């Protein structure tokens, strides 16, 4: 195998490695906690706290209403028991019942507001819980798929790295050092094919005598424009 075709093979392997390293980076970025799920859990927890805070308010209002009812009932019992003889006393009791009823009516209205808030929150909690469960199922499936993909890419990467190590051990150290310095600054490609006398790295035409020198593959000829190592097959 010629010097340049060894470098070309190394380049092919490095390209495969780079594709997989990029893929791994994308997979890693999508693995782990999902921001959407975290914020959905947060919103749900806040609504649950708000609902939990309203429940004692609801109970307190209900106790107060019961209290009013008991008092109203006691006064009314007294009014209709026949024991009240003066119309003055009767009027006083009547006023007392009306005051108690106004008091109860205020708490009835307040209870209604609390019950409406609670109902709204409970509907919203059910909807959010169902959305969150769906998101968690999808997230779980995606994580499994990504982990499987990661394992596959990693095993391919290992194979290509073994191949790379075998290939680079065959390359002349000076060629390897030139190759390494070129690959860094040139989008990951240090070796360019020559097709119809044109460098496929930068698309310029290569003088014919240089194409001929490169064709043997035993001499490292670089593109006069992009400096990539020219490979003619």
Q: Which stretch binds Zn ion (CB under 5 A): 3-11, 28-36, 115-123, 201-209?
A: 201-209
Cα 19 to its chain centre, rounded Å, is: 23
Q: Which stretch binds Zn ion (CB under 5 A): 9-17, 115-123, 151-159, 191-199?
A: 191-199
Return the residue of 202, 213, 215, 222 that touches Zn ion, per CB under 5 A: 202
For the bound state, the minimum distance from the C-beta of residue 223 to Zn ion, rounded and expressed in Å, comes to 3
How would you class 25 by CB atoms within 10 Å of its CB: exposed for 0-12, middle for 13-18, buried for 19 or more? Answer: exposed
Return the residue of 199, 214, 220, 221 that touches Zn ion, per CB under 5 A: 199
> How many other C-beta atoms can be found within 10 angstroms of the C-beta atom of residue 16?
17
Pick the closest to residue 213 from 203, 204, 223 (CA basis).
Answer: 223
* Tokens representing residue 47 in the block: 């609504």
For the bound state, the minimum distance from the C-beta of residue 12 to Zn ion, rounded and expressed in Å, comes to 18
Categorise residue 229: left if φ over 0, alpha if ψ from -120 to 50, beta otherwise: beta
80-97: b (≥16 Cβ within 10 Å) or e: eeeeeeeeeeeeebeebb
Residue 220 contacts Zn ion per CB under 5 A: no
For the bound state, the minimum distance from the C-beta of residue 192 to Zn ion, rounded and expressed in Å, comes to 5
> Of 166 and 207, which has the nearer Cβ to Zn ion?
207
- As a whole number of angstroms, the distance between CA 93 and CA 101 comes to 12
Return the residue of 226, 229, 231, 232 that touches Zn ion, per CB under 5 A: 226
> How many other C-beta atoms can be found within 10 angstroms of the C-beta atom of residue 114?
17
> Of 4 and 226, which has the nearer Cβ to Zn ion?
226
Residue 10 contacts Zn ion per CB under 5 A: no
Residue 221 contacts Zn ion per CB under 5 A: no
- How many residues line the site for Zn ion (CB under 5 A)? 6
- As a whole number of angstroms, the distance between CA 120 and CA 50 comes to 11
Q: Which stretch binds Zn ion (CB under 5 A): 5-13, 35-43, 142-150, 222-230?
A: 222-230
For the bound state, the minimum distance from the C-beta of residue 200 to Zn ion, rounded and expressed in Å, comes to 8
Return the residue of 190, 223, 229, 232 that touches Zn ion, per CB under 5 A: 223
| Residues contributing to the site for Zn ion (CB under 5 A) | 199, 201-202, 223, 225-226
């Amino acid at each position: 195998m010629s010097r340049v075709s060894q470098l070309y093979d190394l380049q092919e392997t490095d390209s495969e490695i780079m594709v997989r390293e990029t893929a791994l980076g994308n997979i890693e970025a999508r693995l782990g906690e999902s921001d959407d799920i975290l914020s959905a859990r947060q919103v749900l927890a806040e609504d649950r706290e708000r609902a939990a805070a309203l429940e004692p308010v609801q109970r307190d209002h209900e106790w107060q209403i019961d209290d009013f009812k008991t008092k109203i009932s006691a006064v009314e019992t007294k009014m209709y028991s026949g024991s009240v003889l003066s119309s003055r006393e009767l009027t006083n009791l009547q006023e007392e019942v009306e005051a108690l009823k106004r008091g109860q009516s205020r708490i009835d209205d307040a209870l209604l507001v609390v019950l409406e808030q609670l109902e709204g929150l409970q509907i919203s909690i059910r909807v959010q819980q169902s959305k969150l469960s769906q998101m968690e199922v999808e997230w779980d499936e995606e994580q499994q798929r990504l982990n499987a993909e990661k394992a596959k890419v990693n095993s391919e990467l290992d194979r290509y790295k073994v191949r790379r190590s075998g290939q680079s051990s065959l390359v002349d150290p000076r060629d390897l050092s030139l190759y390494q310095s070129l690959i860094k600054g040139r989008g990951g490609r240090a070796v360019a094919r020559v097709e119809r006398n044109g460098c496929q790295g930068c698309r310029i035409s290569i003088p014919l005598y240089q194409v001929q020198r490169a064709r043997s593959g035993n001499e490292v000829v670089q593109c006069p424009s992009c400096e990539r190592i020219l490979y003619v097959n």
